[in-house]
A and B are shown apart, each in its own frame.
Chain A
Amino acid sequence: MDGITILLSAFVLSVAALGFFIWSMRRGDFDATSRGATVIFAPQELGHPEDPSRVARPDDSIVAAPEEFGERSEADRSSAPVAFVFFCCAIVWLLVASVAGLTASIKLHAPDWLTQYEWLSFGRVRTLHLNALAYGWAPMAGLGLAIWLLPRLLKTTLKGGGFAVLGCMTWNAGLIAGLGAIAVGFTSGREWLEIPWQVALLLVIGGGLVALPLVFTLQSRQVDHLYVSVWYMGAALFWFPVLYLVANIPDLHFGVEEATMNWWYGHNVLGLFFTPLALASIYYFMPKVIGRPVQSYNLSLLGFWTLAFFYGQVGGHHLIGGPVPGWLITLSIVQSMMMIIPVLAFATNQYTTMRGYNHMLWYSPTLRFVAFGGIMYVASSIQGSFEALRTINAVTHFTHYTVAHAHLGLYGFVTMAFFGGIYFAMPRVMLREWPYPRLIGLHFWLSGGGILVYVFFLTIGGWLQGMAMLDAAKPFMESVDVTIIYLKMRSLGGALMTAGHLVFAVHFAAMILKVGPARDRPAFFHEPAAS
């Protein structure tokens, strides 16, 4: 493979993409009046917030066709048991991942703590943390929200929900076996793919089963237009099984090729699975909560296709400076920078949609979590694009800076967006309001504050570590010594987040066990003024 061929194919692809773009313009996909954005609203519902954390029912202030609200309640009822199972699993894995992560974090500045237990050694417990988070919490929450949203978006009832539950069970069985395998040292030894392939097959099958209700529900849809959230979720549901299957084919990958495959997977599971699921949530909940459609809907569609195209090819930036073909690194760096396009498309949308509605952040839990997630998406993606540049990468590669970046994305963005979605969905799933609104506020500040403390300090620590490592006059140990105080602050941030998760879990348990006051008003942080 020589440079000319690569350049030529990149050129051909660009021209094809341009042609597609022009064709879309001619078809009116980019009209200024984007009617598609209103498909998630009932007629005349525009301008009326769907109250966060409130059981769907016709509200006196909304003059809408009652049948649409009836349909929405039916849609919510059809998906409730399935979403319930997913959310419960998600909470359990969130707690497991938090405890494992905090343990690993403390071990980095207290290396003789708990060393006598092999399964708790840093190399194991760090991996347990990552896998419980990446294959437990995030997919369970994200897929649960996707399943819950589908009937709403397609204005029908959920079809084939049983497959999703079966898929969820298969997935969790695989995950339990996988985490057990990792704990005893039966690992594939590749980052993000540690679960041995024999077990990973269960996750492929589970993921495929969860995608089936999408197919069945699509067939009975009552809407002409597929809202942008459906695109993101639909693509993610199909992308994941393929990604995970290709990555786990035994005895196929070798040497350096295995490394490029490893990071093709490692970055795509973030970019083509977690990111679209979280974006789908934000694109639904934000407009619904404020009662205003996405302002530049077509920008969101452009964002989808550019994300799908560019994000898939950025993985090579994890191997900059490594023994891999140079063209691959260059390609990944270029596409990393191109990722600015979908990110700006999203940022513009969030900004213009939220403009004039920021006061709602004061009282709406869902909006606050989701908006926080959206901002962190933009921040982490822009950071990631620049991190791929060789000059910056020379400092940050191999350091805690990258770890901070990963947490900004997967926690600050994805996890916070899912929290917001769950706060919106659970009252409809349980037909009960959240019993203690104050706990939601506490959760927000612990999680939001925790991740900011975590990222702020670890970013600085990682940068100093990288600068020390680049200075050949300094002994290597200086690059370790300089990080210690920042690693301790990271543990503090992690402890705050873990505390937030405990609050969340307790509140969730109170919700499903019907403990606490039975409230008949939406769980707001504060009462909205004059509504």
Chain B
Amino acid sequence: MHSEARLVGGAMVMLAIATSALVVLPYLQLRDVKPPDGLKPYTSTELRGRQVYVQQGCLYCHSQQPRDRTMGPDGARGWGRPGVAGDYYYDHPHQLGTMRTGPDLFNIGSRQPSADWHLGHLFQPRAYVPGSIMPAYPFLFELKEKPDKDDRVVTMPPGYVPPGMIVVARPAALDLVAYLQVLKHNYPAIESPIARK
């Protein structure tokens, strides 16, 4: 190769081919996908909660993409039907994830609808799931002696709160739980014909 122009040109063509395949074609193919009828836009509380999910990096241990039964027993574990492109219509940034250090969360709202459970579990996962390696999130909560008006008090199993103190959820924790509760993609959805191929 004697010409640097040919080198750089060739290199850029290669990158352009890759970009067409992995970015431009999916863009053209998926831009007209509509949200399924059963999927509602997030409320502002849920959106704030989603932001907490993003900021805390839940993505690094939890996926949001149940696979079909040829790839794994996701359905048998109660993680829900395989996701379709439309399910992610309102998701920005996407949180599909690549790790399952913890379980898939795409339908955690169906599996675990209780706000009390989620709040307590965020405060101390090992109080609810023995052996869990999920980090505790004490900074999403406050320890107080007695609650103020409007405080959301979290009831913990005995032994996890210093004597004489109570656990109060901060707004970020409440938002996050609202988001987790709405993660229910249990409406029927068939892949939009344009996205399937």
Residues of A within 8 A of B (CB): 1-3, 13, 29, 107-109, 111-112, 115-118, 121-124, 126-127, 185-191, 218, 224-226, 230-231, 234-235, 238-239, 242-243, 246, 253-264, 268, 272, 301, 305, 308-309, 311-313, 315-316, 318-328, 331-332, 390, 394, 397-400, 402-403, 469-472, 476-477, 479-481, 484, 487
Within 8 Å by CB of B94, from A258, A326, A476, A481, lies A258
Q: What secondary structure prevails in chain B residues at the interface with A?
A: loop
Within 8 Å by CB of A255, from B12, B15, B91, lies B91
Do the beta carbons of B135 and A397 come within 8 Å of each other?
no
Do the beta carbons of B1 and A226 come within 8 Å of each other?
yes
Do the beta carbons of A108 and B22 come within 8 Å of each other?
no
Do the beta carbons of A1 and B197 come within 8 Å of each other?
yes
Do the beta carbons of B98 and A398 come within 8 Å of each other?
yes
Do the beta carbons of A239 and B11 come within 8 Å of each other?
yes
Q: Encode contact with A along B159-197: 1 for CB under 8 Å, 0 otherwise.
A: 000000000000000000000000000000001000111
Min C-beta distance of A371 to chain B, whole Å: 26
Complex Cα–Cα for A202 and B19 (A): 22
Within 8 Å by CB of B72, from A126, A242, A321, A325, lies A321
Query: Provided the pairs A189-B54, A263-B22 are in contact, do residues A323 and B77 lie with their beta carbons within 8 angstroms?
Result: no
Do the beta carbons of A189 and B14 come within 8 Å of each other?
no
Within 8 Å by CB of A398, from B11, B100, B131, B197, lies B100
B137 at interface, CB cutoff 8 A: yes
Give every chain B residue within 8 A of A185 (Cβ-Cβ). Answer: 55-56
With both beta carbons as reference points, the residue of chain B lying nearest to A301 in the complex is identified as B1
Within 8 Å by CB of B2, from A225, A243, A319, lies A225
Complex Cα–Cα for A268 and B102 (A): 27
Do the beta carbons of B67 and A226 come within 8 Å of each other?
no
Stretch at the interface among B78-86, B112-120, B150-158: B78-86
The residues in B between 117 and 156 inclusive whose CB is less than 8 angstroms from any CB of A are 125-126, 129-139
Give every chain A residue within 8 A of B87 (Cβ-Cβ). Answer: 323
Within 8 Å by CB of A111, from B65, B96, B134, lies B134
Residues of B within 8 A of A (CB): 1-2, 4, 7-8, 10-12, 14-15, 17-19, 21-23, 25-31, 33, 54-61, 63, 65, 67-68, 71-73, 76-77, 82-85, 87-89, 91-103, 125-126, 129-139, 191, 195-197
Min C-beta distance of A15 to chain B, whole Å: 14
Give every chain A residue within 8 A of B29 (Cβ-Cβ). Answer: 1, 325
Give every chain A residue within 8 A of B129 (Cβ-Cβ). Answer: 477
Min C-beta distance of A321 to chain B, whole Å: 4
Min C-beta distance of A120 to chain B, whole Å: 10
Do the beta carbons of B63 and A123 come within 8 Å of each other?
no
Do the beta carbons of A109 and B133 come within 8 Å of each other?
yes
Complex Cα–Cα for A324 and B197 (A): 9
Query: Provided the pairs A111-B125, A325-B196 are in contact, do residues A476 and B77 lie with their beta carbons within 8 angstroms?
Result: yes
Min C-beta distance of A349 to chain B, whole Å: 17
Complex Cα–Cα for A115 and B31 (A): 41
Within 8 Å by CB of A321, from B57, B65, B103, B131, lies B65
Complex Cα–Cα for A138 and B8 (A): 22
Complex Cα–Cα for A292 and B14 (A): 31
Complex Cα–Cα for A469 and B67 (A): 12
Do the beta carbons of B98 and A123 come within 8 Å of each other?
no
- Chosen A-B contacts, 10 in total, with CB atoms closer than 8 Å, are A256-B26, A257-B27, A259-B94, A308-B10, A308-B15, A321-B67, A323-B88, A328-B21, A398-B97, A476-B103
Query: Provided the pairs A257-B31, A323-B84 are in contact, do residues A471 and B139 lie with their beta carbons within 8 angstroms?
Result: no
Min C-beta distance of A362 to chain B, whole Å: 36
Query: Provided the pairs A321-B68, A328-B22, A394-B71 are in contact, do residues A235 and B2 lie with their beta carbons within 8 angstroms?
Result: no
Query: Provided the pairs A321-B67, A484-B133 are in contact, do residues A187 and B11 lie with their beta carbons within 8 angstroms?
Result: no
Min C-beta distance of A256 to chain B, whole Å: 5
Within 8 Å by CB of B12, from A238, A311, A400, lies A238
Query: Provided the pairs A225-B2, A264-B22, A301-B1 are in contact, do residues A126 and B57 lie with their beta carbons within 8 angstroms?
Result: yes
With both beta carbons as reference points, the residue of chain B lying nearest to A484 in the complex is identified as B133
